Every structure is written in structure tokens, then in C-alpha cells.
Structure 1
């Protein structure tokens, strides 16, 4: 099977950046006419498929379908309590804006083979929202079609697109600040920083709060590759030689598991230890006690994403921006003033 030609192949052939190739093929400013012609010539030589910037492209761009697309991984679509609410608001806002919403779930095979939805291949949408994270090459492939694109709850330094994001650093800072002002100085962190940029940013906000309050970081308390599995969380808690007096968890699922794991060890929340999580979703609300959590306005996410996409469709050459939405602390019963001594495991 012949190797698939990519923009990077064209860039390597001409000794220019991949971004310059993208700008040339999509008709964006930033490259000279001579470079643009060289890119077209090399793309034709190597057999790269693209829509030439000419009468066909201009006709496609001038036509308005009234459709916008939304794509997401199968995993994101399965997270009904979080991304589901964003999607429903996107659908509602699209209707208000007299737009038809077309959906496409992206499975792993399509993601790895960079297989785009048919509505992008035939340019039957005027813009597209990418909900949560797909791999960078896939997102770039979407952007390379020239269809205006807005990312929702995801971003990366190498991706040039508008992004609608939670202010994760400030939100995590506020969560840690809440625990610090209750007198906690031994605070654990639980999250997988490799799973999502959001979780890395929440770690950074957490650490910034500790720094501002002159509280030293205890590396033993940082669980930075935590999987959302009860046995994984329980083992981490149990192996600690000394227990934190509080935990900050990057999402409610981990907060729920930490709460359950502490109970199994006979450590009581909030009498012995406090927990604060992020998202203020069903799991934080169903936990006993209810977990203090940072609330994300998911409806605002959806409305902002649609409005930004419609703006982008009318302003294709304007600089890309990241729009940060606030998170608000919602106190539960899982946080209280620090006890004078750290909790210890109850003897079997």
C-alpha cells in the first residue's frame, strides 16, 4: 500500500514549515505568491489531494449551506453528563441562529487514518466544531480543508484555531486556595496530566496557589498519572507513609473514587480529611458527603462555541483567539477546617 502523502512531505521537499504549506494550500495570507506556486507544484508532483484556490474553491467558499458540523471522539460522546450537555446547548444555539447541525462521531480507526467526515470532504458545512480532544494530526487535517474550525475544551500550541476553554489554571488555583484558607498545608493532587491539557493546567494552578501561600510541595502527594479506577486510587492512598489533610482532584470522577478509597481505610470526610474536585457534575453531587467542586457553565460553553464559529465564518482572516470561561467554587460538605494532625489509616 502506497504511503499517504502529507503536508509535512511537501514541507520537507521545499524545506519550509508545515504551517507555510497549510497557508499556501488554504489560501491564507503569510506566504508569497512564489512560495504558494511552489507548494501547488510540489503537491501535484507528490500526489497530495487538495482543493486548488481558484474558481472551484471560490465557488465553494461563496456558497452558504446553512450547515455547521460537530465532530468528537466516541469517548467524548459517551460522556453524556459533561459533553452531552455542551452538545445539547450547541444544538439549541444552532437552531436559534438558523443553522442545521450535522454530527459525526470519530472512532479510533478514522482518527488514526485521518479519515474525515463526508460533510467535510464535500464541504457541505460552513464551519465545524471539534468537541474535546482528537489527535493533533487529525485536527490539523480538519483545519487544512479550509472550513472555519473552533475547538471546544481543547487546545495545543501547534494548532492554529479558535478555542473555547475553561480557565483551568485559575479554577484550580481557587480550589486550592479554598483548602489553603481552611488551614490545610498537606494537600494531595490527583489527575492524569497526560490525558488532557486541562489536567496539566489544573496542576499548574494548584502549584501556583501553594507557591503564593508559601506552602511547600510534597512530591509524594502528587498523583500525576492517576487512572479513574478504584483499585489504582486505593493503592496510591494506602501506600502513602503519611496522609494529606486534603485532596484536590482534577475531576469529579476522581473525587468520588478518592472519597470511597478513604472510607475503606476508615478515614472520614470531612472530619479527618477534605476533598475538592472539578466540574460540579453528577458524581460530586451524588457523593456522601457532597463534594465541594468547581462548577463549569456547560451551557455557556455551547453558546460561546456556536457564536464564535459563526463569527469566524464571517471573519476568516482574523487572528485566532482562546476564550477562557470561568469556573466557580460550589461548596459541599466534603471540606472543613484542617485538623491539627494528619489522618492516619485505621488499624485492621
Structure 2
């Protein structure tokens, strides 16, 4: 005699999670209409018997999404704080609860996973920003659907939500060249994260396309967000470029302050363009031209992709690149002819 068809049987047939099948059959949010229709059609074809009036437990009704990040990332409240709020809102709208865990440097180095990942109700994991590759791979080894936010690396096999760093940096440099700048410098630690290295690649692409020289003394490729570093770097440069591109607003803010302390007028003598559209770009004097990121979209897309991955566990991993927007402010202008070096 044929055994009774269960939700797990339907999930196995469609290669989906049991939770997705449960949500579709019970009429709850959390799955797309296309997926819901597929599940319901399959349930009917397989002879699934609906249990009228069945009471669901609280555990059945709501699962958990885990969000983990380093102590450093959570300390960047302006940038990652907005992403976190968007993630929380989007998760709640989909009927799930968000569990948050900060990862200390000691835990990261010792590969100690947070206790929340042992919660049987956790259905997916979001990793916010940079954690070491061995640590991320240990998280992924738990076998739960995982999405990285604002970070990726070839050795980490997971979906990623990213800024289109190369094209954004390219657009920033193109904007500066359109203003007439021919001598442009770069500020950023390209070894700190793949994002910064990609912004350097976009910088190089735009400079090469414009036929401009990248002078070694104008490439501060190990720049840190420290006043002492910036002061020493600027003092060591005999001829300033007419414009600088910084990989984040923190570096743009410190560079702005340092150049003014050295007697340079911003933007009359030196223009500055940075990245992120964070608070520092809006507090500097003059206000800093920057590449703006839609942080709410970051969070929303991350949750959307995680729920998609929960329903499509064996599909190829993808990287979703989000666009930026140039926000022109007072820190950039056309260069004086007398400042342009030949």
C-alpha cells in the first residue's frame, strides 16, 4: 500500500526545503508566487492530503535567519548599520526572525562558530562584510544557505551581494577627467579587501582609457585612515596631482584635512572624490564629492537572494552587482591651468 505523501516528499521531489513547501501549502509569505504554484501543483500530482484545521506550532510558523559580522564591521554603524536595519525589516516582512552575532577577532582566528548557528530553527545565514576565508568556509560547511554581503573571494563558494566597484571607480575618474583633470592620484589600501582592489582596477581602467599616466608617487596603495600616515604621505610628494580619488569617505576626510593643513585650497588647488556617501563626506569642509551606495537596497537584495537560495539549493552561485550614483559636491572643480603638470 502506498504510504502517505508528506511535505518532505514534495520538498525532495522539487529539490526545495521543507520549510518552503510548508509556507506554500499554508499560504504564508516567504516564497514567490511562481514557486508556490509549482509546489501546490506538485502536491496535487503526488496526492498530498491537506489536513484541515491543523494547528501549527510556533516553530512551524516562524524560522530564523542568522546575521554574523566581525566586531569591526558592526562598529561601522553608519555604513553597515543601515544595511543591518534593511536586512531586519526585510526578514521580518517575510515572516522570519533575525538572530545577530558579532564575531570577535579571537573567535575568528580560532575558527569558533557562534552558538546561534547550532539553533535548529536557523534556515539561512547572512555574512556581513569581511571575515577571514577559513572562517567563512567553516560557516558555509554547516550546510545552510549562505549569502555574503559586501564581500567575496574566489575560494568562498556562496552567493554575494556587491557594489559594482570597478565601474563605480571608473565613473568617478571619468567625472574628474571630464572636469579637465589629467593628474590624478589614488588613495586606498588595496590589500585590505577585494572591494578596494576592484576600485583600484576601475581607476586604472579609466586612466588607461583616457591616456593618462599613473605616477608612482601618486599611488598610495597602502593608505590607512590615520592622520600621521596621511601627513607623512602628502609631505613626501613634491608635486601634488590636481585631483585625488579615495576608496572610502574616511580617507577622503583625512586627506582633505591634511591638504588644508599643508596650505592647499580645496578644490581650487586640489579636488577630492571619495566613495560610499557616508557621514564624513557630508561633514567635511568643503563637502566631498563621492560615489553613493543605496544601503537599503543592499539589505533587501541580500535577503531576497537568501530566500531564493533556500528554495534553489543546487543552482550555481551568483554575484549580484549593485550600481552606485555619483554625488557631485564642493570638493571637486575644474583644475587651474597653472596646476596642471606637463
> Aligned in 2, Cα 1:64/1:136: closer, same or farther, shift over 3 Å?
farther
Deviation at 1:122, TM superposition (A): 4.1
The alpha-carbon distance between structure 1 residues 240 and 147, as it changes in their structure 2 partners (threshold 3 A), is: same
Q: Distance in 1 between matches of 2:278 and 2:296?
A: 13
1:217 aligns with 2:214: yes
Q: What is the alpha-carbon distance in structure 1 between the residues aligned to residue 74 and residue 200 of structure 2?
A: 25
Q: Matches of residues 20-169 of structure 1 in structure 2 within 5 Å? A: 66-169=63-166
TM-score by length of 1: 0.79
* SS of equivalent residue, structure 1 residue 163: strand
Paired residue for 1:246? 243
Contact 1:272 1:343 in 2 (8 A): no
Matched, 1:279 2:270: no
Structure 1 residues 190-269: aligned runs within 5 Å: 190-269=187-266
Query: Structure 2, unaligned stretches of length 5 or more?
Result: 1-59
CA contact (8 A) 1:279 1:294 kept: yes
Deviates more, 1:183-192 or 1:335-344: 335-344
Select 1:341's aligned residue among 328, 338, 341: 338
Over the residues paired in the alignment, what is the CA RMSD in angstroms? 1.5
- Assess if the C-alpha contact under 8 Å between 2:67 and 2:126 holds in 1: yes
After superposition, give the CA deviation of every residue in 1:44-100 in whole Å (9 maximum; x if it has no partner).
Answer: xxxxxxxxxxxxxxxxxxx88611000000000000000000001100111111110
Distance 1:319 1:123 in 2: 26
Contact kept, 8 Å, 1:74 with 1:106, in 2: the verdict is: yes
Paired with 2:267 and 2:106, the residues of 1 have a C-alpha distance of 45
2:298 is aligned, of 286, 296, 301, to 301
| Structure 1 pair 67–286 and aligned structure 2 pair: CA distance change class (3 A) | same
Q: Distance in 2 between matches of 1:84 and 1:261?
A: 28
CA contact 2:62–2:95 (8 Å) conserved in 1: no
1:123 and 1:209 mapped to 2: Cα distance? 49
Using the alignment, how far apart are the partners of 1:148 and 1:119 within structure 2?
Answer: 15
Give the aligned length. Answer: 283
- Give the match's secondary structure for 1:116: coil
**Deviation (angstroms), 1:119:** 2.2
5+ residue gaps, structure 1, are: 1-62
